[in-house]
């Protein structure tokens, strides 16, 4: 009876540790995009350029969703702000249609095909924020980060600004212990 009880306790302990300890293979930043309030100016920019949406993904990617691949839009640069102070700039200068595919497209609620292109910002975040979170070691998460995305329409030579607010988390490489809550 003692052996059975010992085996059951060991199995339960292994199961518990397996559920509460996870390994993070590398340092990385996590962005949580604020749900943007519909801004008339941004909605007009997005609809005029055949875009469905521009979002920030948690893996530090700018995701462009569009109905037809725009051949005339260039992602010029991105500026990063913390508490309304610019802390870094990322020069990109790539056409939207040359960006990396972010998954397969999908069909929206009206049956139109939506394609995805994205630009990964993680290396740039490491350069600006620090590889080990050392440059801006403030109390995160907070909603005081802002990203301004600059797009240029090559046909009209017009530059558009899209603002996105987000929270920033940093996960260090190694083991992490967390307690399950019910």
Domain map (residue ranges) of the chain: 24-173
- The answer to whether residue 139 scores a pLDDT higher than 60 is no
Which of 151, 154, 122 minimizes the C-alpha distance to 54?
A: 151
Note the pLDDT of residue 173.
Answer: 87
Tokens at residue 89, please? Answer: 């700039």
Please tell me whether residue 72 adopts helix, strand or coil conformation: coil
Q: What is the C-alpha to C-alpha distance for residues 76 and 96, in angstroms, rounded to an integer?
A: 10
Q: What is the C-alpha to C-alpha distance for residues 49 and 161, in angstroms, rounded to an integer?
A: 13
How far lies 140's CA from each of 60, 85, 149, 173, in Å?
16, 16, 22, 17
> pTM of whole model > 0.75?
yes
Q: What is the C-alpha to C-alpha distance for residues 176 and 22, in angstroms, rounded to an integer?
A: 5
Task: Write out pLDDT tens, residues 78-102.
Answer: 999 988 899 999 999 999 989 998 8
- Residues 6+ away with beta carbon under 8 Å from 143: 34, 165, 166, 167
């Amino acid at each position: 009876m003692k052996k059975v009880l010992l085996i059951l306790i060991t199995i339960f302990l292994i199961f518990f540790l397996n559920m509460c300890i996870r390994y993070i293979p590398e340092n990385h930043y996590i962005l949580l995009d604020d749900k943007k309030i519909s801004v008339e100016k941004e909605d007009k920019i997005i609809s005029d350029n055949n875009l469905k949406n521009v979002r920030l993904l948690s893996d530090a990617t700018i995701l462009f969703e569009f109905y037809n691949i725009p051949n005339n839009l260039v992602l010029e640069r991105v500026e990063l702000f913390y508490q309304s102070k610019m802390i870094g700039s990322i020069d990109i200068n790539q056409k939207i249609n040359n960006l990396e595919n972010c998954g397969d497209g999908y069909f929206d609620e009206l049956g139109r095909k939506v394609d995805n292109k994205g630009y990964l910002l993680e290396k740039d975040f490491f350069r600006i924020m620090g590889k080990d979170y050392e440059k801006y070691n403030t109390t995160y998460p907070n909603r005081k980060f802002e990203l301004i995305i600059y797009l240029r329409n090559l046909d009209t030579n017009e530059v558009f600004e899209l603002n996105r607010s987000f929270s920033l988390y940093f996960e260090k490489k190694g083991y992490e212990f967390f307690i399950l809550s019910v």
